[in-house]
C-alpha cells in the first residue's frame, strides 16, 4: 500500500521508517549459542561443584556426618580395594640342608686268582695233584702247577702261604679243594701258595 493511498494519519511508527535502526519494539533474534549457554553452564558447573564439594568433605573428615555417604565409602573399601597399610605375606624359604655323604665301608679284598699255586702230591693216590690242579683252574686260578712233594713229612693235607697278604687267597684254595688245614710259612711257601696232598685228601 503506497503512502498516498494510506487512509490513516502518520504517527511515531511511520517516523521510525526514516531511521536505520530496529523499528518499533522489534529486536534482532539472538544467536543459538547465546540462547543455550545458561543451560550449558548449569550442566557443566553443577557436577563440577558437586565433585569438589564431596572431595572437600572426604579430605576434611566430615563425610561421616552426611547420611548415606559414610556407608557408600565403607562399602567401596570392603569390596576388595587394597589397603595401603596391608603388606604381602612373605613365606620364609627353607634353608638348604647338606646331607653328609656316608663314608663307604671298606670291603675285604677277594682272592688273587693270578697268584702262583703249586699242588704237590705227598702220599696221596696217584694223579691226585693233577686232578687238584684242574679243580683250581676251574675255580678261576690262572697259574697252577702239579708235582710231587719232597719236603718234610706231614700228617695231613695242608695249604701253606708265605705272608698275611696271601691269607685270603690261601683260604680260597683250601675251600676249592676241601682242605681244612691252612698255615702261614715262608719256608714252605716261598713266593707261592703250596698245597701238599696227603692220603687224607679225596680228589
pLDDT in tens, 27-84: 555 555 666 767 777 777 778 888 888 787 777 665 555 555 555 455 545 455 455 5
77 assigned to some structural domain: no
Q: Is residue 175 part of a domain?
A: yes
Going by C-alpha positions, the residue among 86, 194, 101 that lies closest to residue 148 is 194
Q: Which domain holds residue 162?
A: 117-197
d(C-alpha 152, C-alpha 146), whole Å: 18
For residue 20, being part of any structural domain is answered with no
What is the pLDDT at residue 54? 77
**Residue 104: predicted pLDDT:** 45
In the chain, the number of structural domains is 2
Q: How far is 73 from 85, CA to CA, in rounded Å?
A: 17
Verdict on whether the full-model pTM lies above 0.95? no
Is 106 part of a structural domain of the chain?
A: no
Q: What average pLDDT does the segment 155-165 reach? A: 94
* Strands across the sheet containing 181-184: 144-148, 117-121, 193-197, 158-161, 181-184
Whichever domain contains 136, its CATH number is 3.30.70.2390
| 62 is a domain residue | yes
11 in a structural domain:
no
Amino acid at each position: 500500500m503506497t503512502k498516498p493511498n494510506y487512509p490513516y494519519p502518520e504517527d511515531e511508527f511511520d517516523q521510525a521508517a526514516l531511521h536505520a535502526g530496529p523499528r518499533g519494539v522489534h529486536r534482532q533474534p539472538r544467536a543459538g549459542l547465546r540462547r543455550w549457554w545458561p543451560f550449558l553452564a548449569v550442566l557443566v558447573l553443577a557436577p563440577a561443584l558437586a565433585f569438589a564439594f564431596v572431595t572437600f568433605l572426604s579430605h576434611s573428615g566430615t563425610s561421616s556426618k552426611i547420611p548415606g555417604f559414610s556407608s557408600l565409602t565403607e562399602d567401596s573399601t570392603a569390596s576388595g580395594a587394597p589397603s595401603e597399610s596391608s603388606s604381602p605375606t612373605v613365606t620364609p624359604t627353607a634353608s638348604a640342608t647338606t646331607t653328609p655323604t656316608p663314608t663307604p665301608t671298606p670291603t675285604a679284598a677277594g682272592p688273587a686268582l693270578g697268584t702262583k699255586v703249586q699242588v704237590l702230591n705227598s702220599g696221596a693216590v696217584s694223579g691226585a695233584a693233577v686232578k687238584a690242579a684242574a679243580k683250581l683252574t676251574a675255580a678261576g686260578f690262572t697259574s697252577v702247577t702239579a708235582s710231587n712233594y719232597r719236603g718234610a713229612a706231614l700228617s695231613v693235607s695242608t695249604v701253606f702261604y708265605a705272608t698275611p697278604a696271601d691269607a685270603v687267597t690261601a683260604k680260597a684254595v683250601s675251600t676249592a679243594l676241601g682242605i681244612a688245614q691252612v698255615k702261614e710259612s715262608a719256608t714252605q711257601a716261598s713266593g707261592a701258595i703250596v698245597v701238599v696232598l696227603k692220603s687224607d685228601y679225596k680228589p
